């Protein structure tokens, strides 16, 4: 087992308003408290919509909850005339630690390309936010190039040309596994994670490769999480649908109960 602390990240996508967010965060926190969850051993983060962040931050603060806070996107710009965008500095002010960058839904529906992803990663580094760089291949790409080629290419572009590289996380999410109920095999997830780690080693340093957490995402449930996290290459999961269901998400957080590490 590596020294990397597993990260269980819940991407709520465009679900739950700020009042519903309070209810879900409280239930997650209570359930994990009941089972004496050790956040030092397994980190847990939630990624609510922008409009919920202030409310969730206030709740985490007031109740001294150990859940971490993430955002689903950030502007590449610092400030100014960019209607509808949200600056990294604003997120930092809300104690946001993580930001999803280049999620396939943003690549697909908002035409985010590798260059924009790179610029958003840079905005995170500048504001001392930890980007969770999302990479993954479509079914066509899987058939044409195998599983690792596109993720490696996307990660390479995302890490190119930065003056200072801060901490980051990588999430391997095969597009065909998102919200479909189809999952990659744990062998495939481990193999791609290994190649992504090699890429980090080549582009940044061996030390960074050793320290960086690589997550798997795509139809993760409490019933299948153990398979992914049994591999030393996979350091956590990025969960969509199941992160909105208390028993499912907390079950995923307790994956060590099902895995002998």
> Which positions are catalytic?
103, 173
- Contact status, residue 33 vs residue 63, Cβ threshold 8 Å: no
Nearest approach in angstroms of CB 9 to ligand 13P is 8
User: Closer to ligand 13P at the Cβ: 138 or 208?
Assistant: 138
Per-state percent for the chain, helix, strand, coil, to nearest 5: 45, 15, 40
User: What length is written for the chain?
Assistant: 261
User: Closer to ligand 13P at the Cβ: 204 or 245?
Assistant: 245
Nearest approach in angstroms of CB 200 to ligand 13P is 20
170, β-bridge pairs? 133, 214
Strand 130-135 to 169-172 pairing: parallel
User: Closer to ligand 13P at the Cβ: 131 or 240?
Assistant: 240
Nearest approach in angstroms of CB 251 to ligand 13P is 14
**Taking the C-alpha atoms of 133, 192, 11 and 103 in order, what is their torsion angle to the nearest 10 degrees?**
50
User: Closer to ligand 13P at the Cβ: 72 or 212?
Assistant: 72
Helix (H, G, I), strand (E, B), or coil: what is residue 254? coil
Distance set, CA 21 to CA 24, 46, 73, 234 (Å): 5, 10, 18, 28
User: Closer to ligand 13P at the Cβ: 142 or 239?
Assistant: 239
Nearest approach in angstroms of CB 178 to ligand 13P is 4
Nearest approach in angstroms of CB 3 to ligand 13P is 25
Instruction: Name the site residues for ligand 13P (rule: CB under 6 A).
Output: 11, 103, 173, 178-179, 217-220, 238-242
Spatial CB neighbours of 259, under 8 Å, sequence gap ≥ 6: 226, 229, 230
**Alpha carbons 78 and 85: distance in angstroms, whole number:** 10
- Per the structure block, which two tokens stand in for 172? 């391997």
**Alpha carbons 140 and 150: distance in angstroms, whole number:** 11
């Amino acid at each position: 087992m590596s020294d990397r602390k597993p990260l269980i990240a819940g991407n709520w996508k465009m679900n739950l308003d700020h009042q519903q967010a309070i209810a879900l965060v409280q239930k997650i926190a209570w359930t994990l408290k009941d089972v004496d969850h050790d956040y030092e051993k397994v980190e847990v983060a939630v990624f609510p919509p922008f409009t919920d962040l202030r409310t969730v931050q206030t709740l985490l603060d007031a109740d001294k909850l150990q859940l971490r806070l993430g955002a689903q996107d950030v502007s590449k710009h610092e400030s100014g005339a960019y209607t509808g965008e949200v600056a990294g500095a604003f997120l930092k002010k809300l104690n946001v630690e993580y930001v999803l960058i280049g999620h396939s839904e943003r690549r697909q529906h908002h035409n985010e390309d590798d260059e924009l992803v790179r610029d958003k990663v840079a905005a995170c580094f500048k504001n001392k936010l930890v980007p969770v760089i999302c990479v993954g291949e479509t079914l066509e790409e899987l058939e044409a190039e195998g599983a690792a080629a596109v993720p490696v290419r996307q990660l390479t572009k995302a890490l190119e040309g930065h003056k200072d590289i801060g901490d980051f996380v990588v999430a391997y999410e095969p597009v065909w596994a998102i919200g479909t109920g189809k999952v990659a095999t744990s062998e495939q997830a481990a193999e791609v994670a290994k190649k992504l780690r090699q890429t980090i080693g080549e582009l940044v340093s061996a030390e960074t490769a050793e320290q960086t957490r690589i997550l798997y995402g795509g139809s993760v449930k409490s019933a299948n999480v153990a398979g992914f996290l049994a591999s030393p290459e996979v350091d956590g999961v990025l969960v969509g649908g199941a992160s909105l269901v208390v028993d499912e998400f907390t079950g995923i957080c307790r994956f060590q109960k099902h895995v002998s590490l």
